Amino acid sequence: MSELLCPKCSSDRVIATKVDGKINITCLECGHEFKPGQGATSYEDFKNKKKKEIQNNLKLDKQARQGCVVLFLIAILIFIIIKLCS
Ligand SMILES: [Zn+2]
């Protein structure tokens, strides 16, 4: 059987349970539940998955920041238009 690690805390103390014909894996360390495909198979794999997660979060952060900048520019534009009209 291949090694399976919790994708959250990298613990190998995980148990597989079958619920409604679907396999669910529960981490005994942190209580995180995940599906077989979501678990890391080695510590290297765990680190890669974490890295990907962080990269995704950064991407979302960047998008959120860009959204803020656009709102800020619109606010300035409205301010200028009001100034010009008065
Ligand atoms: Zn865990």
User: Is residue 5 situated within a structural domain?
Assistant: no
Q: How far apart are CA 64 and CA 72, in angstroms?
A: 12
User: Is residue 52 situated within a structural domain?
Assistant: yes
Distance 29 CA to ligand 1 centre (A): 5
pLDDT tens sequence across 41-52: 888 999 998 999
Say how many domains are in the chain: 1
Other Cβ atoms less than 10 A from the Cβ of 39: the count is 23
Distance 58 CA to ligand 1 centre (A): 23
User: Is residue 3 situated within a structural domain?
Assistant: no
Distance 70 CA to ligand 1 centre (A): 39
Phi/psi region, residue 5 (left: phi>0; alpha: psi -120 to 50; beta: rest), is beta
**In the chain, which residue ranges form alpha helices assigned H by DSSP?**
43-85
User: Is residue 19 situated within a structural domain?
Assistant: yes
User: Is residue 2 situated within a structural domain?
Assistant: no
Q: Which domain holds residue 55?
A: 14-85
Distance 9 CA to ligand 1 centre (A): 4
pLDDT tens sequence across 16-49: 999 888 999 999 999 999 998 888 888 899 999 8
| β 33-34/22-27 pair status | antiparallel
